[in-house]
Amino acid sequence: MKLSCALVTNVDSPDLVAEAERLGYHRAWLYDSPAITSDVWIALALAAERTSTIGLGPGVLVPSLRHPMANAAAIANLTALAPGRVVVAVGSGFTGRYTLGKRPLRWAVVEEYVTTLRALLRGETVEWEGAAIRMMHADGFVPDRPVEVEVFIGADGPKGTAVAERVGDGVFAAGVPNPAAAGRPYALLQFGTVLEDGEDLRSQALLDRAGHGLAVVFHAMYERLGADAMLELPGGPEWVAAINAIPPAERHLVTHEGHLVRLTAVDQEAVRIAADLLPQFTFTGTPEQLRDRVAEYAAGGVTELVYQPAGPDVAGELARMMDAVGGVTER
């Protein structure tokens, strides 16, 4: 199993990717959620110019955000800047959709989009929205077709995994392991931090580094299961009360604010109450505990552990995680 990193795309991401390469990370995945992140393709292009070995890719693209030709051209351009290093993940959308007031896409839409995207990269003529389209770039604009890249499907359940089997090269799961993904390239995204001896789970310093991983559990449960499902969770009633104080038409603008970066006023108290759950719900623990988790993931078929740090010292978090588990992953 290899150790990669993920970053919430911002203006510092290219430099952080360069640092991740120096530390020995396998790949750097950058989020694509335009309402809350910087532009993923700009950041990846800048990262390509500052690195030479680390893998690069968006994780995950959401079909409704761009025409397939726009993403095909961007993928091809990135492969020219970083030949042999590009990978792409495509999913149905979480914050990329919810922050725009929309539900995730149907998996049939994702499958059609990926099929079209891959055909374009092969240089084929395909039909999209009732018209024939093809990459018509002249020499010197993007590499000659076919443009070869791995395509992962952002799948946490059986429907998405079935799409990966039909049109993808692997699975990119987030937070919760996807046992059905075993047997193929399988990246698992995790959030958390390395605990210091005796560190208080409710300390502000710890919550700044790892609270994002617990807050996203609240966000996901609320969006997918509704407010009632959260009431038995420690901190759940407090979180629901805070979000219900927001006018319904604007709740999607608040629910994911600070997503995987920082705790908002809505998140702070609820996450502090639920802090005992951090080792259970996030990749948070002592080095020994995290190494045990890595072994469990490897036994479950994970081929790539993707760690997303947060807090005031992201570069330091990357270094501490590499020190903690890099020795038990293939570098």
pLDDT in tens, 149-179: 999 999 999 999 999 999 999 999 999 999 9
Region 252-268: what's the mean pLDDT?
93
- Dump pLDDT digits (tens) for 87-144: 999 999 999 999 999 999 999 999 999 999 999 999 999 999 999 999 999 999 999 9
41 confidence band (pLDDT: 50, 70, 90)? very high
pLDDT tens digits for range 281-329 = 999 999 999 999 999 999 999 999 999 999 999 999 999 999 999 987 7
Backbone torsions φ then ψ of 62, nearest 5 degrees:
-115, 120
The whole-angstrom separation of Cα 211 and Cα 194 is 13
Rounded to whole angstroms, the Cα distance separating 287 from 46 reads 33
Convert the pLDDT of each residue in 165-224 to its tens digit. 999 999 999 999 999 999 999 999 999 999 998 999 999 999 999 999 999 999 999 999
Mean pLDDT of the chain: 96
By DSSP bridging, strand 55-58 and strand 27-30 are parallel
Report residue 331's pLDDT band, with 50, 70 and 90 as the boundaries.
low
323 membership: H or E segment, kind and range: helix 314-325
Distance of alpha carbon 210 from alpha carbon 147, whole angstroms = 38
Pairing of strands 304-308, 2-7: parallel
Cis amide prior to 309 (ω within 30 degrees) = no
Phi, psi dihedral angles at 323 (to 5 degrees) = -60, -35
SS3 288: helix
CB atoms within 10 A of CB 46: 17
**CB crowding 86-109: b at 16 or more within 10 Å, else e:** bbbbbbbbbbbbbbbeeebbebee
Phi-psi region for residue 117, left (φ > 0), alpha (ψ -120 to 50) or beta?
Answer: alpha
If residue 240 lies in a helix (H) or strand (E), which one and from where to where?
helix 236-244
Mean predicted confidence (pLDDT) in 70-78: 98
In degrees and rounded to multiples of 5, residue 306 shows phi and psi of: -110, 110
